[in-house]
Amino acid sequence: MNQKPPAIAARDERFRDSISTVDKHGKRVWLYPKRPGGKFWNKRKVFGYTLLALLLLGPWLRIGGEPLLQLDVIDRRFVILGRTFWPQDIHLFVIGFITFIIFVALFTVAFGRLFCGWACPQTVFMELVYRRIEYAIEGDWKQQQALNKGPWNGERILKKTVKHFLFFAVAFFIGNTFLAYLIGSDRLLDLITVSPRAHWAGFVAMLGFSGIFYGVFAFMREQVCTTICPYGRLQGVLLDRHSTVIAYDHVRGETRAHFRKGEDRRAVGKGDCIDCKACVHVCPTGIDIRNGTQLECVNCTACIDACDHMMTSVGLPTGLIRFASEREIADAKPWRFTTRMKGYSAVLIALVGVLLTLILTRTDVEATVLRTPGTLFQKQQDGRVSNIYAYKVVNKTSRDMPIRFELENSQGEVQVVGKSLDLHKAALIEGELFIILPPQEIKSYSTLLTMKVMAGDKQVDELQTSFVGPIHKAQ
Ligand code: SF4
Ligand code: SF4
């Protein structure tokens, strides 16, 4: 963070020397976040479950016969929104990835770690799936604490067994969903409808992957967000006083003090924070947002709901914790579109423009025809001259496409060696071909030729290649 306002600078910042989930002996402090609830939680549920539905349905939904999303790294084939991309499209992935990074940076500069709390798969699975299973079986935070402190009696063994069985079952289900993104839903169906004995290695790999997934949500939990995730570590350089984050209004809230009915808090020098710690109890990363913006905060908004509930209960205005920048709170100034945000936006707009142009001008078929290295020309019996070439044609569409090569502005001929040019959907064919020219068309040692790739009457690609041969001398 940049320069701090006096109200913050004077505060005890020793809490930054340690993290809330590790005690002074270096041991893990297990968190028991209170069950969240409120306006933002309801919105998060709608948003998060929509994302989950999209994730689960992604491999099964079809656009033009192709999946919504498939990342087939084994066959090096990627389907995004029904369009097939190949390794030849690597430049699109690189530009897309850079655009995504700039977008994330801009988004973070402007709105902090909002992505983490609302859209990150780690948080969505943890808070909307695993934690809810835990609340349903073990109860709210106090019951969970009591259960874990109590003896290993029948109730505890039963609850833990059911919980961990469900945790693993969900992990296994999610593992299979991710596998469908890799190998496609049809191949996944083939695999799961036969006995595991038919594919032991794959089955054991899936159990291993599910075990890692299970371990992350059953045991690692918030440690992923607070200590492992590199994006979380970036907050320190991306956030500044202008960034909108989940913030405690320390100007209004301090000096914090317990609530007393009928008391005029302002008159006795008390702020609006009633020091109930409801915001701390719901925090899934175990921090006290009243200390100020912290790297551990995933912007989940649970503390806003908790504080609003307390404020409403004691008849004070809501919004003591809210989306706001430090500048808005400390200096009472409105949100500003800063120079840094403008710079990131300009780069982002330029990159999106380049990416869109490349995607929109991307051809359905991509062909390369290269003269076979180390070969010269051959003279045919009829006096014509031929060169041999290696060709490669990729069909990026999801339909079969018989193709042919034609020379532009030439009396020459293209003869494909051997096989037919039936280009199946999302397939690649390669082979050799001859270009044969009448001698009068060879006017220099290396003649530049334009070749069209035709599918029926439609030209699907155009390329240039060179032809070598003896220069024709007019009689
Ligand atoms: S401080 Fe608030 S917004 Fe941040 S992680 Fe904790 S509960 Fe979520
Ligand atoms: S929930 Fe609100 S009132 Fe209660 S401690 Fe947190 S900031 Fe203060």
pLDDT for 293: 86
407 lines ligand 2 (CB under 6 A): no
289 lines ligand 2 (CB under 6 A): no
Strands 413-416 and 385-395: unpaired
Closest atom of ligand 2 relative to the 306 alpha carbon: 1
pLDDT for 50: 97
Cβ 269 vs Cβ 281: under 8 Å: no
- From residue 305, alpha-carbon distances to 33, 131, 189, 226 in Å are 14, 18, 43, 22
Task: Report which protein residue has its CA nearest ligand 1's atom 2.
Answer: 303
For residue 161, count CB atoms less than 10 angstroms from its CB and return exposed for 0-12, middle for 13-18, buried for 19 or more.
exposed
Closest atom of ligand 1 relative to the 288 alpha carbon: 1
403-425 pLDDT per residue, tens: 999 999 889 999 999 877 888 87
Residue 465: HSE in the Cβ half-sphere, 13 Å Cα cutoff: 26
pLDDT for 81: 81
Strand partners, 449: 465
What is the distance in A from the centroid of ligand 2 to the CA of 41? Answer: 17
pLDDT for 7: 46
Backbone angles phi, psi at 391, to 5 degrees: -120, 155
pTM to 2 decimal places: 0.78
In SS3 terms, 200-229 reads as HHHHHHHHHHHHHHHHHHHHHCCHHHHHHC
212-248 pLDDT per residue, tens: 999 999 999 999 998 899 888 888 788 888 888 999 9
Task: Report which protein residue has its CA nearest ligand 1's atom 5.
Answer: 297
Question: Of the bound ligands, which one is closest to the alpha carbon of residue 270?
Answer: 2
302 lines ligand 2 (CB under 6 A): no
Mutate to test the pocket of ligand 2, among 250, 255, 259, 277 (most ligand atoms within 8 A of CB): 277
Label residues 220-229 b or e (16+ Cβ within 10 Å = b): ebbbbbbeeb
Structure tokens at 398: 């999801």
158-167 pLDDT per residue, tens: 999 999 999 9
| CA dihedral over 93, 98, 104, 110, signed as positive or negative | negative
Question: Of the bound ligands, which one is closest to the alpha carbon of residue 40?
Answer: 1
Strand partners, 452: 406, 462
Q: Percent of the chain at pLDDT above 90? A: 55
Residue 288: HSE in the Cβ half-sphere, 13 Å Cα cutoff: 13
Task: Report which protein residue has its CA nearest ligand 2's atom 3.
Answer: 273
